Amino acid sequence: MTADDDDTDTVNCSHHGPSSPATFVCSHLADGPAPGFVFDEEEGTEVPWPDAYCDECAGTAAMATEELRVLCKYCWEDSFARSTHIELHDDPHQWLHEARHRAAEKQDRWLERFGIAKYPHYQMELEGELAWLGFGASANNIQITADALVIGSWTDSTKTWLWGWANPEWRSEITYPLVWVKRFGEQKGLEPLWRASQVLEDEDEAFAIAAAVLDVVPAIEGIYRAPTDTGSMFLAVQKTRRVS
């Protein structure tokens, strides 16, 4: 596995192909399994795949650069799975079902408070400085707006879910605030919350993953499914307000 000389953020992985960003772990984790999977907690709130070490290397005063190995983001997650001390949840699908049930009241409260269902038109802007989602009678008559974050996307043809923080198409400002959910999933052994990409049975499972974000992140007020040419995109909204 090598980093591209022209773009050090791209990894040419023999198993997963080209991907970005490059991630770095100690040689024990790369060759694993190793005892423990440790990374800096502060760095872990900002990036999905922080530099990581086994227990032994994390306990040393410093790590020599030459002892680090480059991995693609998918190999980082494979390394986490085989080396973490945290046990995998015995029934993550049941947990997602329960999380979706818990989130339903919160979702209904958001829909009813702002009357989202009554508006025939929705509009989103994810490229500008402030990402937002709006609802109204038409593009020229938006009556409700909310700050938006990209949770992830579902592709019908491949039945694949991809977390927003794993999709280089989106700028980190509208995806990385939800890296906290990845950390939560790692701490609870909930693989659907920390695997960047996964094949699901159907889109309903994708909706359950999105609902888990609503369940575990207090600041999120609701979620919205936006149809795309290839499937669906799921957005998290906060700071919903009426346009005066």
Residues in the chain: 244
3 state SS of 119: coil
Q: How many helices (H) and strands (E) does the chain have?
A: 8, 14
Supply the pLDDT for residue 7.
Answer: 44
pTM score: 0.92
What residue numbers bound the domain in which 7 lies?
2-83
Is 154 in the same domain as 39? no
Supply the pLDDT for residue 5.
Answer: 44
Last residue of a domain, one of 51, 83, 115: 83
Is 77 in the same domain as 198? no
Phi, psi of 161 (to 5 degrees): -100, 135
CA distances from 74 to 58, 70, 144, 165, 225 (A): 22, 12, 38, 13, 26
Cα–Cα distance, 36 to 48 (Å, whole number): 18
What is the sign of the dihedral through the CA atoms of 37, 52, 208 and 242?
A: positive
Supply the pLDDT for residue 65.
Answer: 57
Cβ–Cβ under 8 Å, residues 109 and 60: no
Cα–Cα distance, 4 to 18 (Å, whole number): 9
- Element of type H or E holding 142: strand 141-155
What total of structural domains would you count in the chain?
2
CA distances from 47 to 70, 178, 181, 209, 220 (A): 16, 10, 12, 20, 20
In sequence order, the 6+-apart residues with CB closer than 8 A to the CB of 6 are none
Last residue of a domain, one of 31, 61, 83: 83
Is 60 in the same domain as 106? no
Is 114 in the same domain as 44? no
Is 198 in the same domain as 117? yes
User: pLDDT averaged over consecutive 10-residue blocks of the chain (244 residues)?
Assistant: 55 88 93 92 90 89 69 96 95 97 98 97 91 96 98 98 96 96 97 97 96 98 96 98 90
